[in-house]
Amino acid sequence: MIVEDNVADVLLMREAIRELCPCPVEIRTVSDGEQALSILKSGLKCDVIILDLSLPRMDGHTFLERYKSPYPPIVIFSSSWNEADSKRALSLGAREFIRKPSTYDRYVESVCGIIEKWGKTDNAEASEIPN
């Protein structure tokens, strides 16, 4: 699942995943943390969540505070990086914090790296999502 409100970033991530990632991937996108939480609570299973921090309605940090399950792993992929944001996100359960690169090649490489590293989790152990 991609949680991102920037349409250009969503398109770029989808293209990177479809064109360059070696494994077949089904992509679900939502534009804010509130939508993501609602969909996950409804029972959607996914292998990884790619989460931006700067989102409308419910930002990435608030999503992390409310979503307390270790599965699926959550990777922060954000252009708004600072050490405090990174530490806070990781302390709230994100598995990794990646700053969005400014060049196309590095961006594609980063997205594919997320899928390759985190996209093959075993959701059979997934905990119940808190209300």
- Domain assignment of residue 130, yes or no: no
pTM (2 decimals)?
0.87
19 SS3 class? helix
Sign of CA dihedral 83, 90, 73, 41: negative
The span from the CA of 97 to the CA of 38, in Å, is 23
Q: Number of structural domains, the chain?
A: 1
- Domain assignment of residue 12, yes or no: yes
Range of the domain at 83: 2-119
Please say whether the beta carbons of 51 and 90 come within 8 A.
Answer: no
CATH code of the domain covering residue 28: 3.40.50.2300
Question: Can you give the pLDDT at residue 18?
Answer: 81
Amino acid present at 1: M
* Centroid of chain to Cα 127: 18
Question: Can you give the pLDDT at residue 44?
Answer: 86
User: Does 129 have pLDDT greater than 60?
Assistant: no
pLDDT tens column, 37-89 = 999 999 888 999 999 999 999 999 999 999 988 889 999 999 877 889 999 99
pLDDT tens column, 8-45 = 999 999 888 887 766 677 889 999 999 999 999 998 88
- Domain assignment of residue 59, yes or no: yes
- Domain assignment of residue 125, yes or no: no
pLDDT tens column, 75-128 = 999 987 788 999 999 999 999 999 999 898 899 899 988 988 987 655 434 434
- Domain assignment of residue 80, yes or no: yes
